Structure 1
Amino acid sequence: MSAEFDHEQVAIRTGLRSDLPVIVAVHSTKLGQAVGGCRLWRYADWRDGLADALRLSAGMTAKCAVAGLANGGGKTVVAVPESTVLDVALRRKVLEDVADAVASLNGAYATGPDVGTTPQDMAAIGERTAHVFCKPEERGGSGDSSPATALGTLAALRAVRQRLHGTSALTGARLSVVGLGSVGLRLARLLAAEGAELLVSDIDPAKRERTGELGATWVAPDEGLTADVDILVPAALGGTLTKQIVPELRCAAIVGPANNQLATPDVADLLHRRGIFWVPDYVASAGGVINALTMELHHGTAHEARKRVEAIEHTVADLLHAADHQQVTPAQAASQLAQRRLDTAT
């Protein structure tokens, strides 16, 4: 399924209050309302933000389709120039501009938190449009999506562990978690509780103080990527898996919550040729959106949402089986599954 220029609509506007580029990409509504996070990030050029919005919204379509959700994919990106100081006043203006952009699409798209935004930001956006999710629980939302994203990634790791070693237990498994942000740290804590042997890394050296509570070994991010481990767990920003890094990898599998892990799509084939299982990021990281949509847009219970998140283990197991049966990569198997569900909806 192509991720380039097959979007239903892309809105690019200069925020009336913030004077910053606000980009909303709606990739597909074939399965239902498009959903995707609001990314507030610094870019050297606003067109880099547009590229992110296009790629990430297409990924959300695939994520929802593979997860069996009745939603399509979208994304908001606010491209903040590197020289701009994003103070409290400007941030508020940005959120109001985002709310107006989302509202202008008349329900085709709903937004939630992403890099650079929080549930509290969603509450601010929710003051101007109902098409928002992951507001704080006290404001009627499902709150921070990080715990569910981490739990879903743990489920995906169980499926791969089962495939590699015949057991879903992660006790004694050697894993390298690259990135200790809100999801990466939560996932590392879950893995430590499971008895996994952890290497951890982050571009922020201050995160090193977390190693004590995790019983982990701290390494530099570059070392974390190429460490001799059972499973590499990318949990930072995307693009880390490049053609150049593939020959240096010493893991049996790659499963992580970071979005857009592949620098280019053909890296999936290179990994496959090296015998490295790569679970597509949009499959492994689906827990957050599954939880939020189940509870907020589809009015399910917290128990139902958790069960759907934990079912990612079965989704990944089925994809690995299908990839073997069809003699394709797991990425191709996931793409084919997503496309079948989209085709069925048309």
Structure 2
Amino acid sequence: MTLTAEPVNSVATQEVSSEIFDRSDYLREYPHEQITFFQDPASGLKAIVAIHSTTLGPALGGTRFYPYADESSAVTDVLRLSRGMTYKAAVAGVDLGGGKAVIVGDPASLKSEELLSAYAKFVQTLGGRYITAGDVGTNSNDLDVMGRHTEFVVGRNTEAGGSGDSAPMTALGVFVSMRAAAQSHWGSASLAGKTVGVEGTGKVGYELIKLLVAEGATVLATDVYSPALDRVKADFPQVTVVGSVIDAELDVYAPCAMGATLSDVTARSITAEVVCGAANNQLTVPAVEQVLRDRGITWTPDYVANGGGLIQVAGELKGSSAAEVTAAVEKIFDTVAEIFTKAESDSILAGAAADAVAEARIAEAARRAANRGSAS
């Protein structure tokens, strides 16, 4: 097996091809500490690891295995996701930085033990600056394979020494965030009787539906992957399966699949009064949030709502008990409430309020590190 890695350091921004550093405002406006491209021709592996920040600790983020239309799309996605992880960790109060990885290809046809092993060996070469976990297209079984070749992996099955699938905790975080949004918007945290449209019924969407049904919500669900919908139909016969939820009559829209479903067009047409889901990067551009706000729609910043999985794997690194992790995830309710209160008091959007909370923690950590450096 031939292993090749091509690290790109942001210090060299002006000295490399414009196809890399000038191709995306995520590199110009949100510089990353390190971007590394991995390739293993024998297994078909093409992977990108983006480390956005290690100010708060080693960069942690899942590995997304996805059939991107082209490699440029993969780069854009990993840059957006890794920056989001920095803010997610800061808001969640965990001592971790932000990173993310993508493997380019269709996991249904390309995933193999050989490929996962090669990828894990690449992760190991980063020396702990990046710690991987699961994401779209990867699961705990895949992480078990990776764990045989790198120590820098979390979210493995409990039998392999990990904390297991993070989907239930991610869903719990979205659920309590939705309750906090309901409290802010309607004056009651109860979702009983509310119509919630869950877009994406994979690992997290399925667990969210379970919580919503138990709460007494009316649930509409959709997914492009029919086996995922079949599972929902079998386990939750009271759920209505529809072709699309974003344009259905809803109280709450819960995007739990891929991001960028809220554009200027959809933000002006949705009927939901609350938007809260697990998907990353739900807004096509930040300006969409203002469109939602102008229509009186309450949007919960995605990286706050979907932080439960990160809190779980951070707890795994610390040796926290399951009860301690659950309690920490449930506190996301208070974080969301704090963000809405700050947005109201400062007359800013919820996204800006969440960013301010995250940036304040990152700045404080950077200040302490600088003081330690000057003292030594």
Tell me if both proteins adopt one fold, taking TM over 0.5 as the criterion.
Answer: yes
1:290-331 C-alpha deviation (Å, 9 max, x unpaired): 01211x111111111000000010010010000000111111
Contact kept? 2:252, 2:273, Cα under 8 Å: yes
Equivalenced residue count is 338
SS of residue in 2 equivalent to 1:345:
helix
Structure 1: 5+ residue stretches without partners:
none
> Sequence identity of aligned pairs in percent?
39
Tell me if structure 2 keeps the 8 A contact 1:238–1:260: yes
Paired residues of 1:24 and 1:101 also in contact (CA < 8 A): no
**CA distance 1:231–1:242, shift in 2 (3 Å):** same
1:120 to 115, 131, 141: 141
SS at match of 1:225: coil
Instruction: Say if 2:56 and 2:362, in contact at 8 Å, map to a contact too.
Output: yes
Q: 1:56 aligns with which of 64, 71, 81?
A: 81
Partner Cα separation in structure 1 for residue 343 and residue 118 of structure 2: 43
Instruction: Describe the shift of the 1:208–1:19 C-alpha distance in structure 2 as closer, same or farther (beyond 3 A).
Output: closer
CA contact 2:172–2:208 (8 Å) conserved in 1 = yes
Relative distance call for 1:278 and 1:110 in structure 2 (3 A) is same
Q: Which amino acid aligns with 1:287?
A: G
> What's 1:86 paired with?
109
CA offsets 1:56-76 (integer angstroms, 9 cap, x no match): 101111110011110011011
Q: Which residue of 1 aligns with 2:348?
A: 328
Alpha-carbon shift at residue 164 of structure 1 (Å): 2.1
Aligned pairs (5 A) from 1:234-249: 234-249=255-270
Aligned partner letter, 2:223: D
Cα separation, 2, equivalents of 1:29 and 1:324:
31
3-state SS of paired residue (2:272): strand
1:310 counterpart residue number: 330
1:47: Cα distance to partner?
A: 1.9
Q: Whole-Å Cα distance in 2 between the matches of residues 118 and 67 of structure 1?
A: 23
Pick closer, same or farther for the CA change 1:53–1:333 going to 2, 3 Å. same
Residue 177 of structure 1 corresponds to which residue in structure 2? Answer: 198
Give the structure 2 partner of residue 142 of structure 1: 163
Unaligned runs of 5+ in 2: 1-24, 367-376
- Residue aligning to 2:209: 188
Q: 1:210 corresponds to which letter in structure 2?
A: V
8 Å CA contact retained: 2:26, 2:76: no
In 1, Cα distance between the equivalents of 2:226 and 2:296?
Answer: 33
Aligned equivalents of 1:236 and 1:59: distance in 2? 16
Distance 1:49 1:129 in 2: 23
1:215 lines up with 2:238 in the alignment: yes
Contact 2:68 2:74 in 1 (8 A): yes
Taking structure 1 as the reference length, what is the TM-score of the superposition?
A: 0.93
8 Å Cα contact 1:3/1:59 also seen in 2: no
2:282 is aligned, of 258, 261, 264, to 261
Output one character per residue of 1:212-237: Cα deviation in whole Å (capped at 9) or x when no partner.
6251222212xx10222221111111
**Matching residue of 2:362:** 342
Partner of 1:319: 339
Deviation at 1:205, TM superposition (A): 4.3
Deviation at 1:180, TM superposition (A): 0.9
The structure having more radius of gyration, on CA atoms, is 2
Looking at structure 2, the residues matched to 62 and 311 of structure 1 have their Cα atoms a distance apart, in angstroms, of 17
